[in-house]
């Protein structure tokens, strides 16, 4: 496969105009999971901003008007938005400032490097998000982050509460909650913290749990072709002839008979043997001693095989480095495939539809997926906001 695939004959994305729909911009947009969910709910996201050109490449393939820009370097917000957004008004500012300093793993890494997470400049990126809120004065804002934000001591208190207080000083009724994506139709137990603000003292609507029984891994990915490890064809035929689950039907809408991004990592023979010997839910610590290359008291979860009849555990950005914690749920000792999950399987577990194409490489795609807000969770949040307005128009 070529290093870059953004010159392929990919389907054209549709251009949209705002009309009377609610208009939003996405700050720190990444690959576009939050934007996509809000678009699915009926919001017109007219601008996405991120410093990573690879993310913006993916964003523009699937959405519209993504701009490569370091948000911290934007001095005149109003002028920047006026220049790049195809709308004369902004009703909603959404976004997820980078969360490395808020996550437990990120904080441990920083301390191992002798750096204080509270002093890291990324801990203050939320302020740049609110620079957009302050200057654009939207009716609503939605900020998303990891649950660890609620555990950060900031100016003597909880950072999430501090941000809520900050928003109230700007004239917004603001609240924060932690939502589990698996309760909103995403086949993954992934908790995210949301802070929603609404101008004035008007109430805030939060999404209600959508399903009682979570979508499972197998309900999400069992229809996808059983490709081997090291498979690097980015565009293949989708020829499943069995009965699709409701979730699979949702993911396949508009995708036709083509499947993109179903690429997999190559593994050595030791890894392949280890994968084949693990039962569903099995971990590195469960392997025979002769297959252990690392200490199993420290690396108990270095390998972990997904469980078919349960949602996935959280898919994080580390999947871009290796996928050992996301081993395909083949039967122990069975025919396979014995490998870690593909890009498309990871995207399915994050609720990205099959029409959403990740650019430019496998590694970038995995990182973008791991850093994303699941679109169906974003859609639930957006739908709750629209209900508070009595619909999706102004």
**Residues labelled as active-site residues:** 99
Candidates 221, 252, 234; CA nearest to 353 is 252
Say if residues 84 and 48 touch (Cβ distance below 8 Å).
no
3-state secondary structure of 385: helix
CA–CA separation, 327 and 345 (whole Å): 11
Candidates 44, 365, 33, 35; CA nearest to 190 is 33
3-state secondary structure of 78: helix
Helices 125-136, 159-169: axis angle to 10 degrees equals: 20
Say if residues 260 and 360 touch (Cβ distance below 8 Å).
no
Degrees to nearest 5, angle at CA 359 with 350 and 367: 50
Helices 125-136, 77-84: axis angle to 10 degrees equals: 80
In which order are the strands placed within the sheet that holds 66-68? 66-68, 44-50, 23-27, 92-95, 140-145, 191-199, 172-180
CA–CA separation, 185 and 213 (whole Å): 9
DSSP 8-state symbol, 312: B
3-state secondary structure of 45: strand
CA–CA separation, 203 and 181 (whole Å): 23
3-state secondary structure of 175: strand
């Amino acid at each position: 496969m070529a290093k870059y695939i953004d010159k392929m004959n990919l389907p054209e994305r549709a251009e949209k105009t705002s009309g009377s729909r609610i208009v939003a911009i996405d700050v720190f947009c990444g690959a576009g999971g939050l934007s996509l969910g809000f678009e699915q709910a009926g919001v017109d996201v007219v601008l996405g901003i991120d410093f990573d050109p690879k993310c913006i490449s993916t964003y523009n393939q699937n959405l519209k008007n993504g701009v490569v820009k370091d948000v911290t370097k934007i001095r005149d917000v109003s002028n920047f938005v006026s220049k790049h957004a195809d709308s004369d008004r902004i009703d909603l500012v959404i976004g997820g400032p980078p969360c490395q300093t808020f996550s437990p793993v990120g904080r441990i890494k920083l301390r191992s490097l002798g750096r204080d997470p509270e002093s890291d400049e990324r801990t203050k990126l939320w302020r740049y998000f609110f620079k957009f809120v302050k200057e654009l004065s939207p009716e609503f804002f939605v900020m998303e982050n990891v649950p660890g934000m609620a555990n950060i001591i900031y100016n003597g208190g909880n950072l999430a509460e501090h941000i809520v207080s900050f928003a109230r000083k700007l004239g917004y009724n603001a609240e924060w909650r932690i939502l589990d994506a698996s309760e909103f139709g995403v086949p993954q137990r992934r908790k995210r913290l949301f802070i929603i603000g609404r101008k004035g003292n008007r109430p805030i609507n939060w999404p209600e749990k959508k399903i009682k029984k979570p979508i499972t891994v197998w309900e999400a990915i069992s229809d996808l072709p059983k490709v081997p490890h090291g498979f690097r064809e980015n565009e293949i035929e989708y020829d499943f002839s069995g009965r699709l689950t409701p979730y699979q039907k949702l993911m396949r809408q508009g995708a036709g008979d083509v499947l993109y991004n179903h690429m997999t990592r190559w593994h050595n023979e030791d890894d392949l043997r280890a994968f084949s010997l693990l039962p569903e839910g099995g971990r590195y610590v469960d392997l025979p001693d002769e297959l252990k290359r690392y200490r199993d008291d420290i690396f108990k979860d270095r390998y972990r095989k997904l469980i078919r009849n349960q949602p996935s555990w959280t898919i994080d950005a580390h999947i871009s480095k290796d996928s050992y914690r996301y081993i395909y749920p083949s039967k122990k000792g069975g025919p396979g495939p014995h490998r870690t999950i593909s890009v498309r399987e990871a995207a399915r577990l994050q609720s990205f539809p099959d029409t959403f194409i990740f650019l430019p490489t496998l590694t970038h795609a995995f990182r973008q997926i791991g850093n994303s807000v699941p679109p169906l969770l974003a859609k639930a949040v957006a739908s709750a906001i629209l209900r508070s307005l009595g619909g999706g128009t102004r």
